[in-house]
A and B are shown apart, each in its own frame.
Chain A
Amino acid sequence: MFSFKCCTLLYDFSDLESNQEPLSWNTRMKIAVGAARGIEYLHCTANPPVIYRDLKSANILLDKEFSPKLSDFGLAKLGPVGDRTHVSTRVMGTYGYCAPEYAMSGKLTVKSDIYCFGVVLLELITGRKAIDLGQKQGEQNLVTWVRNLLNRLQRNT
């Protein structure tokens, strides 16, 4: 999906990856709230609104206090203005995060970003990837897996 070849950093994360602790719940919620504020700014403050189109955990970068910052705006698109509710566009984004109605129709709205945010929220809560081919059949797509779990819960209550 991305044309950028690599991200060359002045430091590497090899220590961080081997020694890192799982993120605490407070940190997870801080990251969710910060990412939501970034999206709110794009949708509600930027004029015209900006649709980010590629919200995913790989694009949420963390500073030393674990405050999140959205990165990679190469797919961003100016949103609809006036009475229009959507812009029509070639479907772009990342498999597993892409809102199904956008994937089917190519009609992009600010709500497409909210769907992606929901997938990131599920990743934060479950620790599972949006698409995880290491899981068994039926559990590889995070949204489908969670939806099935919730349906089962509802049937049992």
Chain B
Amino acid sequence: MAIKQLNPDGLQGNREFIVEVLMLSLLHHPNLVTLIGYCTSGDQRLLVYEYMPMGSLEDHLFG
């Protein structure tokens, strides 16, 4: 699993969190990352994804 933590000070943070959860709950395809779950508590926002062991394309091209 990979866990992403939302920055509580982010201007667009909450909106982007909701869009991310909504989109990934409705969309399913082998070439889209799978959202396993999310959690909110106070101003904390966490997203839990499947773990992608090879990192990002950016890491490989420019890492």
Judged by a CB distance under 8 angstroms, whether A73 is at the interface is yes
CB distance from A61 to the nearest CB of B (A): 4
CB neighbours of B58 from chain A (8 A): 56-58, 60
CB neighbours of B31 from chain A (8 A): 34-35, 37-38, 41, 67-70
Expressed in whole angstroms, the Cα–Cα distance for A6 and B10 within the complex equals: 12
- CB atoms of A4 and B2 under 8 A apart: no
Judged by a CB distance under 8 angstroms, whether A124 is at the interface is yes
Judged by a CB distance under 8 angstroms, whether A100 is at the interface is no
CB neighbours of B42 from chain A (8 A): none
Expressed in whole angstroms, the Cα–Cα distance for A45 and B31 within the complex equals: 13
CB neighbours of B40 from chain A (8 A): none
User: Number of B interface residues, CB 8 Å?
Assistant: 40
- Partner among B6, B13, B20, B54 whose Cβ is within 8 Å of the Cβ of A73: B20
Expressed in whole angstroms, the Cα–Cα distance for A74 and B31 within the complex equals: 17
A50 with B27, Cβ < 8 A, contacts A6-B4, A63-B54, A69-B33 known? yes
- CB atoms of A62 and B60 under 8 A apart: yes
Judged by a CB distance under 8 angstroms, whether B41 is at the interface is no
- CB atoms of A57 and B61 under 8 A apart: yes
Binary flags per residue of A87-109, CB closer than 8 Å to B gives 1, else 0: 00000000000000000000000
CB distance from A93 to the nearest CB of B (A): 13
- CB atoms of B3 and A11 under 8 A apart: no
**8 contacts across the A-B interface (CB closer than 8 A):** A4-B16, A20-B63, A46-B26, A50-B27, A59-B56, A61-B56, A67-B30, A68-B57
Apart from A2-B10, A10-B51, 11 more pairs, CB < 8 Å:
A5-B7, A11-B51, A20-B60, A57-B62, A58-B56, A62-B52, A63-B54, A66-B54, A68-B31, A75-B19, A123-B57
